Amino acid sequence: MLFDQYNVTAEMNVTALREGKLVEPRFTPRDSQETLSIVFEWWNLLDAVMHKLDPLYGYQTGYVREIQLRRMVDLVRMPGVTRYCEVGMNGGHSVSAMLLANPQLKAHVFDLLAFNYSQPVVDLLTTRFRSRITVHAGWSHHGIIKWKQERRAADCPRGAPSATKMSDDESECPMCDLIFVDGDHTYKGALDDLMALKSLAAPGAMVVVDDVGMPPGKAFTHMEAIGKIRRLEQYGPFPPRHRLNPCMRVIDRTECRQKVESMTDLVLQKGLGGREKYIRRCAIRAPICLEWGFAVGEYVAGPGRAHAAAANSGGAVGGRAMNRITARAHGTHINLDTMRHRAMSRVMANGGTRA
C-alpha cells in the first residue's frame, strides 16, 4: 500500500522532533511522562559511564530514588524557577534530570570530582547542556563562597534591580531558586553547605536535603530550629528494601575480582593499597541497603523564628494564609503547602512574570 500526505495513519502522522538550529536539541519533553522517560534513559547512560570508568567504586550508580526524582521534577518546573544549585553531583543523575525537566534552567554544581568517571561525566553534561551547566570543582564549603564573590558583580551589576534582602546572611542578588544538598555527609559539612547556600537563595527558594536519617538530616533540623529553614515536606525515612527505597547495586563478586586482576599496579597504588586488599573487598560485595528519606524546605525570610511561629499557628505569611495538609502513607510523612501560593510567590519574586 502506498502512503502519502493524505492517507498516513494517525499513529504514524506524529512528529516529536523539532528542527531548529543545528546545536539545539531536536527533542524537548512535552509533559511529565516524556520528561521521566528521557531522564531514565540518561540515567542508563550515566550508570554505564560510571561502571566503565570506575567499576570498583562502592556507590556504582546515582541514588536519587524515583520518588525523590518525581518530586524534584515538580519543583524545578514551578513558575519562576530558572536557577538550580546543587552540592554533590557524583555521576550527574540529579542535575541532568533537572536540566531535562526545565529547558530554561541554568545549573551551578559543586563537586570534588574525585573519581575516574567525574571529568568524563562533566564533559558529557557540558556537551549536551553547554552553557546551561557550570561545575565548580573542589570543596563546596569554599567553592560556594568563592563563586558568590566572583559572580556577584556579573550576575547583579551595579544599578540593576535586585531582590529584597531577607537578612544579613542572605543575598541582595540571589542566584538559586531551587537547591539540592547531597554532598558532605558530616553534620558540620552539611550545615556549612546549608548556611552558605542561604546567602545565594532567592526569596522563597526551595531546598531539598537528601538522607534525612543521617547527619545531613540533623543539619537540616538545626537550621529549622534556629529559624533559617522551614520544613515543608518530609518523605520517609523508609526502611531498607522498601519499594520506594531499593537497595543500592554493587559490582558482582566475580566481575569485581576479574577487574582487580586486570588492573595495573599503578592504578592499584592510587586505591586501597594493593591487589590483595581489593580482592578481599570483592569477596564481601553485597547490595547496600540503608534507611533513607529526604526533606523539602524553604529558606525563611526575615526574622526566622517569628516567621515559623506564624506559619505553625496558621498565621499569614506575606499577607497570605498558608494551607497545610498532612498525610501519612507507606511510612511517609508529607507536609504540603498549596502549590498556588508557591507559584504566585515565585511569579512576584521574578517581577510578576511567569518563566
Mean per-residue pLDDT over the chain, rounded: 79
CA distance 53 to 60: 10
Asked if the model's pLDDT at residue 166 lies above 50, the reply is: no
High-pLDDT (> 70) share of the chain, %: 72
Overall domain count for the chain: 1
CA distance 233 to 70: 14
Asked if the model's pLDDT at residue 251 lies above 80, the reply is: no
Is there a domain that residue 331 lies in? no
Asked if the model's pLDDT at residue 331 lies above 50, the reply is: no
Contact predicate 61/246, CB 8 Å = no
Strands 229-238 and 133-137: unpaired
Amino acid occupying residue 16: A
Q: In this predicted model, which residue has the larger pLDDT, 205 or 170?
A: 205
Q: What is the CATH number of the domain that holds 151?
A: 3.40.50.150
Q: In this predicted model, which residue has the larger pLDDT, 268 or 200?
A: 200
Sorting pLDDT into bands at 50, 70 and 90, what band is 347?
A: very low
Question: Tell me: the pLDDT tens digits for 11-20?
Answer: 888 888 888 7
Task: Give mean pLDDT, residues 286-295.
Answer: 90
Is there a domain that residue 236 lies in? yes
Sorting pLDDT into bands at 50, 70 and 90, what band is 285?
A: low
φ, ψ for residue 194 (rounded to 5)? -65, -40
How many of the other CB atoms lie within 10 Å of CB of 350?
17
36 membership: H or E segment, kind and range: helix 32-53
Asked if the model's pLDDT at residue 351 lies above 50, the reply is: no
Is there a domain that residue 278 lies in? no
The string of DSSP codes covering 258-306 is: HHHHHS-HHHHHTTTSSHHHHHHHHHT---B---EEEEEEEEPPSSHHH
Q: What is the model's pLDDT at position 137? A: 95
Is there a domain that residue 354 lies in? no
Sorting pLDDT into bands at 50, 70 and 90, what band is 216?
A: very high
Q: What is the model's pLDDT at position 57? A: 75
Asked if the model's pLDDT at residue 293 lies above 90, the reply is: yes
Is there a domain that residue 316 lies in? no
Q: Find the domain containing 238 and state its range.
A: 32-156+172-250+286-298+340-349
Q: List beta partners, residue 152.
A: none
What the block records as the C-alpha cell of 171 is: 543575598
How distant, in Å, are the alpha carbons of 45, 68, 89, 251 from that of 41? 6, 17, 18, 20
Name, of 156-170, 232-246, 338-352, the range with top average pLDDT: 232-246
Please state at what angle helix 187-198 crosses helix 215-225, rounded to 10 degrees: 50
Is there a domain that residue 246 lies in? yes
CA distance 103 to 350: 17
Nearest CA-CA partner of 217 in 185, 176, 180? 185
How many of the other CB atoms lie within 10 Å of CB of 135?
21
Sorting pLDDT into bands at 50, 70 and 90, what band is 172?
A: low
Is there a domain that residue 267 lies in? no
Task: Give mean pLDDT, residues 335-345.
Answer: 41
Angle in degrees, CA 183, 186, 187, rounded to 5: 110
Stated length of the chain: 355
> How many Cα neighbours within 13 Å face the side chain of 202?
23
Which residue do the cell numbers 529526604 mark?
294
Q: In this predicted model, which residue has the larger pLDDT, 349 or 281?
A: 281
Sorting pLDDT into bands at 50, 70 and 90, what band is 51?
A: confident
High-pLDDT (> 90) share of the chain, %: 48
Give the global pTM: 0.77
Q: What is the model's pLDDT at position 168? A: 45
What the block records as the C-alpha cell of 24 is: 539545539
Q: What is the model's pLDDT at position 313? A: 39
Is there a domain that residue 317 lies in? no
CA distance 106 to 83: 5
Asked if the model's pLDDT at residue 232 lies above 90, the reply is: yes
Question: Tell me: the pLDDT tens digits for 96-137?
Answer: 999 999 999 999 999 999 988 999 999 999 999 999 999 999
99 membership: H or E segment, kind and range: helix 93-101
Q: What is the model's pLDDT at position 76? A: 97
Q: In this predicted model, which residue has the larger pLDDT, 62 or 309?
A: 62
Task: Give mean pLDDT, residues 133-145.
Answer: 93
Task: Give mean pLDDT, residues 277-301.
Answer: 82
Contact predicate 194/209, CB 8 Å = yes
Question: Tell me: the pLDDT tens digits for 56-106?
Answer: 776 777 779 999 999 999 999 999 999 999 999 999 999 999 999 999 999
What the block records as the C-alpha cell of 261 is: 586482576
